Structure 1
Amino acid sequence: MGIKADFRRRYYRKKSDKKKGIEALFTLDAQFEVGDELAVFFGRSGSGKTTALQCISGLLEPNGGKIVVNGNVYFDCHKRINLPVQQRSLGYVFQSYALFPHMDVKKNIAYGLKGWDEKDREERVNEMLQMLEIKGLEDNYPSQLSGGQKQRVALARALAPKPDILLLDEPFSALDRVVRMKLREKIKEIQRELKIPVLFITHNHVEAFTIADKIVIFHDGRVQQIGTPEEVFYHPKNSHVAELVGITNIFTDSSVIKDDEMAGTLTIGCENLKVTAKRPECQVKERISWGIRPENLRILPETDEAISNENTFHACVKNMVNKGSTKTLALEIKEHNNLMIAEISDQFFESLNLKENDRCLVRIERDRIVLF
């Protein structure tokens, strides 16, 4: 059945400017529905993701709205319902694992099984040890475990009581890349097996797009977009979402200069930069924003022949960053006084033989332009 949420919470938090100690009123306004699927809460720090998770769990009380999980009302402002944490059927895995240091693995997993008879509790703990592949560690204490093992124990403890929903607050942020990859696959496997809603917070866009069935984008306390990874990645609704999914070259509030329905193209821009894009199927607005991913910019040697091509501009290399297998270039579009970021393979970069302050051409393919 999943979760239906429409709630608000107002609270004070420190401002992100240089005025230390200054607090401002912040409002979280969360509206979303998640079925029996793995949904990622994605956004920058302070966008409201963790606060939303804590409101669902009962650790924080919203100021208004309603939260329903599998048909059970967890919170309803009008009916004055606010179930305490212990009455909400959920599992919660914290970033810090929150294991009890004085308990061994077996006792940590069994902690949420109070009230179960001894035989059922023993069977359930063994099921969790098997599911999370930590059989043989049951007599170990948290101090004797690796980060990946601790996270598996925390997951086992959260899942042991058979919750209706699983909440994961950046569970893999402290783990190395290989361990993260293995645990991501494990989470997906568990969700498919148990068929319960899983809400997963991450800042890592690679993690978000590889694990999610659905992505909920947060920005400044608001849900900006909900959709599949493909919908959010290829069709961001606004510049906030576009930037979050890796579109670093963003041009907001451009004008529609020419709308050619017959050719299926749209010429957009302003006085200093005009491009032709593939026309969207929806109705075109007079003002539109667009962007291009850094990996989708084509860098060419500066030749007179190429400049006649559509969406091709003279540029100057202002800065270069070596990322190992790729190079990131900051390019100034000379005629238009715009800066664009490009990412190209190390091998292709070597073939161009570019240095800082060298000139080149930048080409933007029309079907690579993202409109929002």
Structure 2
Amino acid sequence: MSGLEVELRQEGPIPLDAAFSCAPGEVLALVGPSGSGKSTILRAVAGTYRPAGGRVRVNGEVWFGGGVHLPPHRRAVGMVFQSYALFPHMTALANVAAAMAHVPPRERDAQARAVLERVHLAGLEERRPAELSGGQQQRVAVARALARAPAVLLLDEPFSAVDKATRQRLYREIAELRRGLDMPVVLVTHDLDEAMMLADRMAVLHRGRTLQAGTPEEVTTRPASAEVARLVDLRNVFEGTVAAHHDDGRRTTIAWAGLAVEAAGRPDIPVGTRLSWVVPDGFVVLHRRDRPSRGEHENPVPGRVEAVLAIGQTAQVTLRPHGDPSLPLHFSVPLHVARRNAVAPGVEAVVSLLADGIHLMPG
């Protein structure tokens, strides 16, 4: 099989029970809180950390497992660190050329220049790291990783050391660059927005364990468990009881906060089952005062606004349902919509929970 396959297991000192794959040309984001084992997993792939058990295989070649443990220098890995780890006394060109031990010496200069041009650094070849901005240093680090002609590219929190504006520009450049990459790319990040923007798939880790892997949309709208939902920052996670199934199983009703809430059908879950359920912010629709909304007939929840936080042109709203004020609902609307509808702390409001966005998580 081509691409990267990883299975890592150990009890300690760093617990690991991780499994994922990454195809050539695909970007896989490893996300999770600090201490979830993300960087340890990257080190295990690179060969700088040897776990107790498991397997790392790249394009069918075993790098680790079954008695095999290739040393780092025998693994075709390009790695970009949070700190860049550039040689401060060497120029950008020399930093990149230093990764080209596999290239005949007479060809290194031209190839290093070509890689720097690929990351938009043509003209800066003779500058040392101290003479480059943080974003430019980051691009030299990416160029050096690519210069190794890696079978796998590993990015360890690569954007955390630059300011927000530079980070946004680097996102665009990496997104453009990755279209020409034919190797698996594994990105470690704690930033969900970063993962959503750059990754084809994401794996959610907690305490060294893979809880779920899938596309960013799958993971953030259909989490495998309440634990995953909270780790990907879904705030509307509740418990309810399956009350009934309707329309030949196309709709399932759950009892929650004194209400009958309709969700997409799950006839496989027996009536009476206690379960967790989640509705992402984007499926919570505010009833507008000036004209009705298409989703207002679905699962109306009346309540009182507890808080409104303006972030740029978006208002983040917390609503306490009348049925059970201990279960706050969170949603976002454009700031002008909040103002037009006089959404403010203490104001009565009604929201609808769109049935197709409600995800049930039995067990």
TM-score by length of 1: 0.87
Tell me the equivalent position of 1:5: 6
Tell me the equivalent position of 2:262: 276
Q: How many matched pairs?
A: 353
Tell me the equivalent position of 2:20: 32
Shift of 1:190: 3.5
Tell me the equivalent position of 1:256: 242
Matches within 5 A, 1:180-259: 180-252=167-239, 254-259=240-245
* Contact 1:94/1:169 (8 A) holds in 2: yes
SS at 2:124's partner residue? Answer: coil
* Contact 1:246/1:293 (8 A) holds in 2: no
1:165 aligns with 2:152: yes
- Over the aligned positions, Cα root-mean-square deviation in angstroms equals 2.4
Q: Percent identity?
A: 35
Matches within 5 A, 1:218-367: 218-252=205-239, 254-262=240-248, 264-270=250-256, 272-280=258-266, 283-285=268-270, 286-300=273-287, 309-337=297-325, 338-367=327-356
CA distance 1:274–1:27, change in 2 (3 Å) = farther
Superposed CA deviations along residues 6-59 of structure 1, whole A, max 9, x for unmatched, are 1124444xxxxxxxxxxxxx4121111111111111222222211111111112
* Contact 1:28/1:222 (8 A) holds in 2: yes
* Contact 2:245/2:252 (8 A) holds in 1: yes
Deviates more, 1:264-273 or 1:38-47: 264-273
For 2:71, the aligned partner's letter is P
Shift of 1:273: 4.6
Shift of 1:142: 0.4
The whole-number CA distance in structure 1 between the counterparts of 2:102 and 2:157 is 30
TM-score by length of 2: 0.89
Tell me the equivalent position of 1:111: 98
* Contact 1:68/1:74 (8 A) holds in 2: yes
* Contact 1:191/1:197 (8 A) holds in 2: no
Query: Unaligned 5+ residue runs, structure 1?
Result: 13-25
Matches within 5 A, 1:87-126: 87-114=74-101, 116-126=103-113
Superposed CA deviations along residues 144-182 of structure 1, whole A, max 9, x for unmatched, are 101110011001111112111000011112223443333
SS at 2:166's partner residue? Answer: helix
The whole-number CA distance in structure 1 between the counterparts of 2:60 and 2:36 is 28
SS at 2:15's partner residue? Answer: strand
Deviates more, 1:148-157 or 1:242-251: 242-251
Tell me the equivalent position of 1:18: none
Shift of 1:192: 3.2
The whole-number CA distance in structure 2 between the counterparts of 1:98 and 1:91 is 13
Matches within 5 A, 1:134-153: 134-153=121-140
Shift of 1:320: 2.1
Query: Unaligned 5+ residue runs, structure 2?
Result: none
The whole-number CA distance in structure 2 between the counterparts of 1:162 and 1:309 is 56
For 1:314, the aligned partner's letter is P
Superposed CA deviations along residues 290-340 of structure 1, whole A, max 9, x for unmatched, are 1112233223379xx99x955222211222212121111221112223211
CA distance 1:115–1:257, change in 2 (3 Å) = closer
SS at 2:328's partner residue? Answer: strand
Tell me the equivalent position of 1:23: none
* Contact 2:102/2:148 (8 A) holds in 1: no
CA distance 1:260–1:69, change in 2 (3 Å) = same
SS at 2:142's partner residue? Answer: helix
Deviates more, 1:187-196 or 1:145-154: 187-196
* Contact 2:6/2:57 (8 A) holds in 1: yes
* Contact 1:273/1:336 (8 A) holds in 2: no
* Contact 1:9/1:61 (8 A) holds in 2: no
Shift of 1:274: 3.6
For 2:15, the aligned partner's letter is T
Shift of 1:227: 1.5
Shift of 1:195: 0.6
Matches within 5 A, 1:49-88: 49-76=38-65, 79-88=66-75
For 2:41, the aligned partner's letter is A
Deviates more, 1:271-280 or 1:60-69: 271-280
The whole-number CA distance in structure 2 between the counterparts of 1:131 and 1:313 is 53
CA distance 1:330–1:31, change in 2 (3 Å) = same
